[in-house]
Structure 1
Amino acid sequence: MPKSLHALLKPGAMLVAMGAGAALPDMHNVLVIRYCLMAMLFIMFLQIRFNDVNLQRGHLRILALNFAMGIVPFLLLTGIKQNNLALAAFWTGIAPTATAAPVVMGFLGGKVSFVLSGFVLTNALIPLSLPLLLVALSGHFSWSHFLPSLWNIIQLIGMPLCLACIIRLVQPQSVAFAKRLKGLSFALWVIMLFYIAADASHFIRSQDDAGSLASFLAIAAVSFVICVLNFLLGYAVGGKGLRRESSQTLGQKNTSLTIYLALIYANPLAALGPTFYVFWHNAWNALQLYLHARKNNNDTTTA
């Protein structure tokens, strides 16, 4: 298969899944999304080498920005009474670092251990802080809401993590085996996108709102702006020698996690924010990889 065609397979599959889901709103099912996400997290935890984690001061700056990119847009948009847009912005900006971010950094010839450490830090602290953060942003505290939210997130992340740790203790070579499951992870992600689109389509149709298309486009635009700011701010705070790494750590997001949580704690429109982000950050990754390959080719030709 030609490389150009092969490069289009994944984005094509994502678009087809979303289009099919949008056309079949009655297929909406949040439970399927939950189980797909837990399976993806299990595969991810199975292949992480925690010995490579080395936290630095730069990781704390990235963590602070990660929180800010969720909270600040939310406050600004709620201030002008754009509540659905504010929720979409929050769930887009608050997403922790993506599983694939260290892999992409490896392709770019950067410091993989820095991005891996950022991934572990943000994926450990941000999800666990969300129940308290949601209470703070809503302005209403209730143990009856806080504790179930916390327990739900602990189950969502803790069960795959514990299972992965047990398997790694019993079968250490499972780390190498997990790396061969990238195809399965992507298949699960495509299934998730189908049900996410179906959920969003069902929600939009149930609103009977002529402004739904405008809301859809506004969420796409806000998601794009947040994506651009994430990569730029990450680059700015990276300091000498770690600009690309910081940019990738802040910019490439674990959207599958926040898409599911947005469906549970907000609504399908809010989940569209991180869904659009998938396309924005992957478009930037594709451009980075193209520019990096072209630079290497030019260097080889010159040599």
Structure 2
Amino acid sequence: MTPHLSNHFLHRLKDFSMPLAILAGIIFWKYLWIFRSVIPYLIAGMLFFTFLKLSPKGIRFKKVHQVLTFIQLFLGGISYLIISNMASGEIGQISAQGMLICFICPAATASAVVIAMLGGNLKVGATYVLISNTGIAFIVPLIFSWIYPGQNIDFWQSVILIFRHVAPLVFGPLAAAWFLRFIAFETHEKLAKIPQIAFWLWVLSLMIILANTVKFIIDKHCPIEDILLLSAIGLFTCIVQFAIGKYIGRKSKEADEITIGQSLGQKNTTLAIWMAQTYLNPLSSIAPASYVIWQNCFNSYQLCRHSKEEEKKEVPLQGVK
């Protein structure tokens, strides 16, 4: 196989790997969900290889991060107030909680990986991953105390619980990557040059995450009309946040539409599902569970389009020896 054909094959394999992973996760969920225990290790691995390309100097808090945080909290708060006051019955309250959790959920740890693959600003994206996933530990107890004023939600206990879910996945890979940068730079450079390893770890984790999501929705034994409603909420919040993020990115001088779109639209749904089941009506977690599917369908489309654009730029030099 010539180098050109080999590169073309790898491009095509990468283009179709995401849709195939999504389909495999949904179709073969019975066989794949049992590997759910390896998901944290896969996520930590892909973050580690992504953070190898990020220096400590790259972590900078910017105004756009404040804007994104405000938008998340505003959308979550206003949507909860509107729906909880307008909708009646238990499903109305569950819908309000589902929309709230989809909006206030922090940026996905994998968003930094996607930003890097799409050619966005890894520094801005990785900084927001750290800010949003750390900040949510302090914000969520206050929000849930507001929703359930009659219940005694211990603030610091909630902060510790949430932080325990976030810290190993976010700060562990970051610390390991920076440790290698300063202690074993040659090893650091060799690992950083391994092509596309973060992407393939993400594809594998996505397949298992989707399988686990399908099992989770099935196990809830929720009426089909309620599942469709909560899935529609997941789709709506996904579209709104990606659209707003990309709009802000086009207007911002500090980043771009890819970076801000992923930072606001791609969510840490594993954490969202856990928070919904811990603090809210457990059925509300179906909304962020469906969000997993919607955001990764959109990510698949973006990566395919980006790959085709990059392929067009690679003009083969025929006849040149």
TM-score interval for Structure 1 and Structure 2 normalised by the shorter chain: 0.7 to 0.9
CA displacement 1:66-94 (0-9 Å, x = unmatched)? 22233332222222231221222122222
Q: Identify the residue that residue 67 of structure 2 maps to in structure 1.
A: 61
Greater mean deviation of Cα atoms: 123-132 or 59-68: 123-132
Q: Identify the residue that residue 260 of structure 1 maps to in structure 2.
A: 274
Q: Within 2, Cα distance between the matches of 1:231 and 1:248?
A: 7
1:185 shift after superposition: 5.2
Q: Identify the residue that residue 6 of structure 2 maps to in structure 1.
A: none
Q: Within 1, Cα distance between the matches of 2:305 and 2:97?
A: 34
Q: Identify the residue that residue 3 of structure 2 maps to in structure 1.
A: none
Asked whether 1:98 is paired with 2:108, we answer: yes
Q: Identify the residue that residue 246 of structure 2 maps to in structure 1.
A: 235
1:277 shift after superposition: 1.8
Q: Identify the residue that residue 156 of structure 1 maps to in structure 2.
A: 165
Q: Within 2, Cα distance between the matches of 1:203 and 1:66?
A: 27
Residues 28 and 76 of structure 1: CA distance in aligned 2, closer, same or farther (over 3 Å): farther
5+ residue gaps, structure 2:
1-8, 316-321
1:292 shift after superposition: 4.1
5+ residue gaps, structure 1:
none
Q: How does 1:1-303 map to 2 (within 5 A)?
A: 4=12, 7-19=15-27, 21=29, 36=38, 38-40=40-42, 42-43=44-45, 46-47=48-49, 48=51, 49=54, 50-79=56-85, 80-81=87-88, 82-143=92-153, 145-160=154-169, 164=173, 167=176, 177=191, 180=197, 183-184=200-201, 186-204=203-221, 212-238=223-249, 239-241=251-253, 242-244=255-257, 245-266=259-280, 269-295=283-309
Residues 156 and 288 of structure 1: CA distance in aligned 2, closer, same or farther (over 3 Å): closer
TM-score of the superposition, structure 2-length normalised? 0.72
Alpha-carbon contact 2:107-2:268 (below 8 Å) kept:
yes
Larger radius of gyration: 2
Q: Which amino acid aligns with 1:251?
A: G
Greater mean deviation of Cα atoms: 244-253 or 156-165: 156-165
Alpha-carbon contact 1:200-1:269 (below 8 Å) kept:
no
CA displacement 1:175-201 (0-9 Å, x = unmatched)? 675984654555444434333332322
- SS of 1:223's equivalent? helix
TM-score of the superposition, structure 1-length normalised? 0.76
Q: Percent identity, please.
A: 20
Alpha-carbon contact 1:88-1:272 (below 8 Å) kept:
yes
